[in-house]
Structure 1
């Protein structure tokens, strides 16, 4: 099980704000790794830097041995990383099908794309039922499924998930998280940013705790879930 993603000492600024202060983390092949922390700790900023939407001022990001810090987001998707953005950001006035097609835009293997479409529909039957519907008319949970399905259409080796539980009812959160585990079992490595620390730690192998742009704790997810400090701060007692 090799190291798939290696983030070394990255520093990211939003204008004059030093948002990420020298963060290092790793994701090994086949793992689910989660970043937990309060709102505004910098969790989403890290994902956006890995996926190429933000550039680190200093630091290295290696994916499968290649330095990807600062290369164009589209090239990063081509190299095998796909992000499900926070707030779902699907194309509301396009159909479910058109959204999924867009997920595969970096690919030209027609047979493989068809195969993956079948796989997405098997995983998210509700999307198949609504494939000709405009995405904006879907419920919040269905939009989250569509955002995940669209990311999977690029056949990523590493899936970045930004707050997948946001705004969803508890039952749907359970469903989304069991789908994340399923995606991982079928060979996709996952880096998950999540406000719902309980859920995140329950499915992750390892976890990092982020506080105002710095990693303050790291370890096996089950150890962090049992830690007094984490329980007090993030697990409601």
Structure 2
């Protein structure tokens, strides 16, 4: 579904991503793990057209998207939940969700999808008229994910969904990511909580200073000695 080949990204004189190649099959959860500054967020931002690439290609279902304007990608079925959530703080929960469905015209299906989001995130329904900026961190993460689901994505790019959240909330968020995947949405997940990410993913890539240093099935990497010592605290 998503194929990244030989991706290079520069920030000024800094070569941030070095020949990155990642393949995501339809129906998979693929996770990118690594320390802060390893290049994980840059990969998602390059896929979404939020930063220019120096060389390489990004293909979605066989078609190049690395020259496509960022705002056009949601029409293809690509939704990005950014690091830090980026909800619209001065708008209500419902208004944030409505913006997720902004490009859609199928009113009956939109109504069904609001119910689907509220079914997955009942807390949002309780706070439907509340200003998004007054929600807790966990609720804001739920809203950011709900807003992305209103795009009806075929692939969901998730950047650090557990950041700053209590362990109980993290477990809830990850169980919902699994639900979303089982309902047919492919997921590319960037996550510092390597243990949680590997526990739900099918495949994983390990990044260090802008390079992929390991890749394999999530089960393999969970038992890999270097991954266990560097990222799992074992």
What TM-score results when the alignment is normalised by the length of structure 1?
0.98
Determine whether 1:34 maps to 2:31. yes
SS at match of 1:105: coil
1:96 aligns with 2:93: yes
Number of equivalent positions: 234
The match for 2:202 among 201, 205, 208 is 205
Displacement of 1:70 in angstroms is 2.7
Aligned pair partner of 2:49 in 40, 46, 52: 52
Q: Counterpart of 1:26 in 2: which secondary structure?
A: strand
Q: Distance in 2 between matches of 1:75 and 1:101?
A: 18
| Residue 123 (str. 1) matches residue 95 (str. 2) | no
Paired with 2:208 and 2:6, the residues of 1 have a C-alpha distance of: 15
Listed as ranges, the matches of 1:8-19 within 5 Å are 8-19=5-16
- Secondary structure at the counterpart of residue 94 of structure 1: coil
Tell me, in whole angstroms, the C-alpha distance in 2 between the residues paired with 1:94 and 1:162.
22
Deviations along 1:12-48, one digit per CA (max 9) or x if unpaired, are 1111211001100000000000000000000000001
The offset of 1:54, in angstroms, is 1.1
2:131 maps to what in 1?
134
Which residue matches 1:5?
2
Q: Deviations over 1:39-71 (max 9, x none)?
A: 000000000110111121100100011100031
Unpaired stretches in structure 1, ≥5 consecutive residues: none
Aligned counterpart, 2:102 = 105
Query: 2 CA distance for matches of 1:26 and 1:234?
Result: 22
Shift of 1:158: 0.2
Q: Does 1:75 align with 2:72?
A: yes
Distance 1:106 1:51 in 2: 17
Root mean square deviation, CA, Å: 0.6
Q: Distance in 1 between matches of 2:201 and 2:172?
A: 16
1:77: Cα distance to partner? 1.1
1:108 Cα offset (Å): 1.2
The answer to whether the aligner puts 1:225 opposite 2:228 as a matched pair is no
Q: Secondary structure of 1:127's match? A: helix
Instruction: State the distance in 1 between where 2:152 and 2:52 align.
Output: 24
DSSP-derived class of the 2:52 partner: coil
Moved over 4 A (4+): none
- Aligned mate of 2:150, from 150, 153, 169: 153
Gaps of 5+ in 2: none
Residues 72-96 of structure 1: CA deviation (Å, up to 9, x unaligned): 1111111110000001110000000
Q: Secondary structure at the match of 2:228?
A: helix
For 2:3 and 2:101, the matched residues in 1 are separated by 26
Q: Distance in 1 between matches of 2:201 and 2:152?
A: 21
Normalising by structure 2, we get a TM-score of 0.99
Q: Distance in 2 between matches of 1:135 and 1:16?
A: 38
